[in-house]
Structure 1
Amino acid sequence: MDIDAWVWWLIGAVGLGIPLVLTAMPEFGMFSVGAVAGAVTAALGFGIVPQVLVFVVVSVALIAVVRPIAARHRDGRPQHASGIDALKGRQAVVLERVDVGGGGRIKLAGEIWSARALDSGQTFEPGDQVDVVEIDGATAVVM
């Protein structure tokens, strides 16, 4: 029993699709699309040289064009901070005197937090605006 060339290309496409699913490497998907293009070329009756050329050209073109676009989208995606990381850098209002010893209170993101000053010489009075530098346990370190 003789299997047509286009069937072999489709088997190759599926074979290249499996590592795509297992490793999440998009390059395998691009090679798989190239193999499908090779299958179409074979189904149209072209010889092995045009089939391989179509496979190579389509695969390389996809890698050359799609990969940079995907990388640009991945790198351009804003990273959203959550939890205490989202509180760093925010402004708060002093409710009770804050100094380096702690014991003070601030209103941060609508909640009351204990706070201490970052530097030993700093003191903040009620009503002052402060910047949250870090969160140390349940205490906001401010400046």
Structure 2
Amino acid sequence: MDDINAWVWWLVGAAALGIPLVVTAMPEFGMLAVGAAAAAVTAGLGGGVVIQVLVFSAVSVALIAVVRPIATRHRSQRPQLVSGVEALKGRQAVVLERVDGSGDGRIKLAGEIWSARALDTGQAYEVGQEVDVVDIEGATAIVM
């Protein structure tokens, strides 16, 4: 196997490893493909077969050892952006109609009018008072 054939075969191997990467979405195949591309460069520069295999192995294992844990950590993290009802918790609102423990009150929260009830059933909030939204139950804001 001469030098030109060796680098061509490594590139064919890299392309062949790219196919299961696309089909299965397993990033390990991409890391092996990068290792094959590194071996192709080594073959193109005149490195022997043993050196080519060592470069392929070293680059592939290094990528799997370094990149895979980082990717796994990013996959398991919760998104930083909170949306929907979760985004309203902890915000301040203004009382439009008296709010008490009965749930008959109204507040203006994030530009919208919400029904509201007090977290502490013995507490009441008067019109114009600012309250904090503790939770949302259905279409009712729980405030304090």
How many Å apart are 1:75 and its aligned residue?
Answer: 7.4
The residue that corresponds to 2:129 in the other structure is: 128
Question: Is 1:49 matched up with 2:50?
Answer: yes
TM-score normalised by structure 1 residue count:
0.81
How many Å apart are 1:100 and its aligned residue?
Answer: 1.4
Whole-Å Cα distance in 1 between the matches of residues 26 and 82 of structure 2? 27
Q: How many equivalent pairs are there? A: 142
**1:111-122 alignment runs, 5 A limit:** 111-122=112-123
The residue that corresponds to 1:59 in the other structure is: 60
Whole-Å Cα distance in 1 between the matches of residues 66 and 32 of structure 2? 13
The residue that corresponds to 1:86 in the other structure is: 87
Encode CA deviations 1:76-95: one digit per residue, 9 max, x unaligned: 88611112221111111111
Q: Which runs of 5+ in 2 are unaligned?
A: none
Encode CA deviations 1:71-121: one digit per residue, 9 max, x unaligned: 677778861111222111111111111111111011101111111112322
The residue that corresponds to 1:31 in the other structure is: 32
> Which stretch shifts more, 18-27 or 91-100?
18-27
Amino acid aligned to 2:38: A
Whole-Å Cα distance in 2 between the matches of residues 41 and 84 of structure 1? 56
Instruction: Give the secondary structure class of the aligned counterpart of 1:116.
Output: strand
How many Å apart are 1:24 and its aligned residue?
Answer: 3.2
TM-score normalised by structure 2 residue count:
0.80
The residue that corresponds to 1:108 in the other structure is: 109
The residue that corresponds to 1:19 in the other structure is: 20
Q: Which runs of 5+ in 1 are unaligned?
A: none
Whole-Å Cα distance in 2 between the matches of residues 23 and 133 of structure 1? 43
How many Å apart are 1:58 and its aligned residue?
Answer: 1.9
Whole-Å Cα distance in 2 between the matches of residues 13 and 136 of structure 1? 54
Whole-Å Cα distance in 1 between the matches of residues 52 and 130 of structure 2? 69
Whole-Å Cα distance in 2 between the matches of residues 25 and 121 of structure 1? 57
Whole-Å Cα distance in 2 between the matches of residues 22 and 122 of structure 1? 60
